[in-house]
Amino acid sequence: MTQSVSPATLNPDPAAGLEGIVVARTSLSHVDGLQGELVLRGKRIEELAGVVPFEDAVSHLWSDLVPLPRTDLQDAFAAARLNAVTALDAIAAAPDDLPVIDLMRLGLCAVPEYPELPAAVLVSGALPVLLAAAARLKKGLKPVLPDPALGTAEDLLRMLTGTAAETPSIKALDRYLVTILDHGLNASTFTARVIASTQADMRDAVLGAIGALKGPLHGGAPGPVLDMLDDIGTPENAADWISDQLTKGKRLMGFGHRIYRTRDPRADVLKAGLESLPPDNSRITEAAAIEQAALKALARAKPDRPLDTNVEFYTAVLLDAIGMDRDLFTPLFAVGRAPGWCGHVIEQQQTGKLIRPTSDYVGPQAAA
Ligand code: ACO
């Protein structure tokens, strides 16, 4: 419902971080922070991740918005991957010290238009190619071109490594991409909607969303989660290390959430995915023990604020277990979240309404 805001109705003390304020209506996903439930267009995340491939989950998320049947979507994503190859020259010409995520943004600007493809497909389908090429070019390796016969997760792994991926890794990456597909009005999705509301295009909205995603309080957290696990070493060191961090006022990466007051269901979906991977990985068992130590310490340190495991903790463990470098964690997040951003962009375009809130001026008054 649209409300008119006159100066008399302005809230002089707006909730910090817009917490609890509804600013959009969506049919894409719902996050129930008290029950610890995530629903994507009527299906719980547990019914999708690890159950259906990425393309099916996107097709489900986009129904009514980008009405492409599943088989057509796989072909359309393949066409978008091939279309993105032209942009690799721009990535190759970029300065060496740019991180992969910035090379992806640069590449996305250079992806040519392809009028037969919906913008959501063109953009979402390009990102895996840009990611893999950027990662290889940074290592001095030639990009591997897409194989249109493969699904997104399988082709992404092949383009990264240059060899056919093993089934457990493909399934784990596919599960990850579905798990993070959409998640209410998180910071990057809100950013995408704000940009879309100005009638800038899909590509602009996704470029901005990636910028918001990078921060360590959002999609930049999983790399630091792995740094934390490395610093702690073995679970015996966990209690002292964690207590030292909390005493210094530092945050534990991979814990806490704006909406969840209980466990983030995506953490368990990803943890379950670890069971299908080879069991000879001590990091997995050690991470579970460190997680328990962190939860105990957080409950002691912040008794009034339930702080539980969020998606980023097991993102780090899962992506590390399938051999992904930590500088690829946030870029992979962007690949999985892009269809969600695009869905929100289309919804926002349909409203036709500019997002333009109001600020509370606290600076000096102009001279009379
Ligand atoms: N470790 C230690 N303390 C924490 C943590 C944490 N991970 N998270 C929140 N707190 C504390 C804060 O210090 C604050 O304490 P105070 O009231 O004594 O000052 C209290 O809990 C509330 O914190 P806020 O920042 O107000 O809560 P908010 O809802 O804004 O923060 C956030 C959510 C940013 C995710 C926070 O929990 C955090 O920084 N977590 C670590 C980073 C992280 O894992 N990010 C990924 C989130 S998932 C995603 O975006 C995909």
Q: Is 218 touching ligand 1 by the criterion CB < 6 Å?
A: yes
> Does ligand 1 come within 6 angstroms of the Cβ of 224?
no
The amino acid occupying position 150 is: L
Can you tell me which atom of ligand 1 is nearest the CA of 246?
2
Q: Ligand 1 in contact with 255 (CB < 6 A)?
A: yes
Ligand 1 mean position, distance from CA 10 (Å): 28
What average pLDDT does this structure show over 158-185? 98
40 bridge partner residues: 29, 43
Span from the CA of 256 to the centroid of ligand 1 (angstroms): 5
- Residue 93 pLDDT exceeds 80: yes
Query: Which residue has the CA at smallest separation from atom 9 of ligand 1?
Result: 256
Secondary structure of the chain in the HEC alphabet? CCCCCCHHHCCCCCCHHHCCCCCCCCCCEEEECCCCEEEECCEEHHHCCCCCCHHHHHHHHHCCCCCCCHHHHHHHHHHHHHHHHHHHHHHHCCCCCCCHHHHHHHHHHHCCCCCCCCHHHHHHHHHHHHHHHHHHHHCCCCCCCCCCCCCHHHHHHHHHHCCCCCHHHHHHHHHHHHHCCCECECHHHHHHHHHHHCCCCHHHHHHHHHHHHCCCCCCCCHHHHHHHHHHHCCHHHHHHHHHHHHHCCCCCCCECCCCCCCCCHHHHHHHHHHCCCCCCCHHHHHHHHHHHHHHHHHHHHCCCCCCCECHHHHHHHHHHHCCCCHHHHHHHHHHHHHHHHHHHHHHHHHHCCCCCCCCCCCCCCCCC
| pLDDT level of residue 6 (50, 70, 90 thresholds) | very low
What pLDDT, on the 0 to 100 scale, is given for residue 15?
Answer: 66
Q: In sequence order, which residues have a C-beta less than 8 Å from that of residue 336 and are 6 or more positions away?
A: 54, 176, 177, 178, 179, 180, 181
Contacts of 36 (CB under 8 A, 6+ apart): 260, 262, 263, 264, 265
Q: Which residues pair with 116 in a beta bridge?
A: none
Ligand 1 atom closest to the CA of 217, numbered from 1: 45
Between the CA of 257 and the centroid of ligand 1 the distance, in Å, is 6
Q: Report the run of H or E that residue 40 belongs to, with start and end.
A: strand 37-40
195 three-state secondary structure: helix
Q: pLDDT digits over 30-81, tens only?
A: 999 999 999 999 999 999 999 999 999 999 999 999 977 767 899 999 999 9
Q: What is the pLDDT of residue 225?
A: 96
User: What value does the mean pLDDT take over residues 265-277?
Assistant: 96
Q: State if residue 187 touches ligand 1 by the CB under 6 angstroms criterion.
A: no
| Rounded Cα distance, 86 and 83, in Å | 7
State pLDDT tens for residues 305-327: 999 999 999 999 999 999 999 99
Contact indicator for 202, 342 with CB cutoff of 8 Å: yes
Under a CB-based contact definition with an 8 Å cutoff, are residues 173 and 156 in contact? yes
Mutate to test the pocket of ligand 1, among 243, 257, 319 (most ligand atoms within 8 A of CB): 257
Please give the share of the chain, as a percent, with pLDDT higher than 70.
Answer: 95
> Any idea which residues carry the catalytic annotation?
257, 312
Instruction: Select from 169, 207, 164, 175 the least CA-distant residue to 188.
Output: 207
Residue to mutate, 300, 310, 318, ligand 1, most ligand atoms under 8 Å from C-beta: 310
219 CB under 6 A from ligand 1? Answer: yes
Measuring from atom 29 of ligand 1, which residue has the nearest CA? 258
Please give the structure tokens belonging to residue 239: 């209690």
Pair of tokens at residue 258 = 């704006």
Give, in order, the Cα–Cα distances in Å from 134 to each of 124, 141, 348: 16, 10, 31
Mean pLDDT of 291-298: 97
What does the mean pLDDT of the chain come to?
A: 94
State residue 17's pLDDT score. Answer: 87
Q: Which atom of ligand 1 is nearest to the CA of 218?
A: 50
The verdict on the CB of residue 267 being under 6 Å from ligand 1 is no
Q: Tell me the torsion sign for CA atoms 221, 225, 231, 232.
A: positive
Q: Which pLDDT band, with edges at 50, 70 and 90, does 367 fall under?
A: very high
pTM of this structure: 0.94
Q: Is the CB of 257 under 6 A from ligand 1?
A: yes
Beta bridge partners of 309: 255
Q: What is the pLDDT of residue 10?
A: 54
Instruction: Looking at mean pLDDT, say which of 100-114, 272-286, 354-368 comes out highest.
Output: 100-114
CA of 188 to the centre of ligand 1 (A): 17
Does ligand 1 come within 6 angstroms of the Cβ of 104?
A: no
**Alpha carbons 129 and 117: distance in angstroms, whole number:** 16
Q: Ligand 1, atom 26: nearest CA belongs to which residue?
A: 258
> What is the token pair recorded at 257?
């959430």
Whether 19 shows a pLDDT value over 70: the answer reads: yes
Distance 3 CA to ligand 1 centre (A): 31
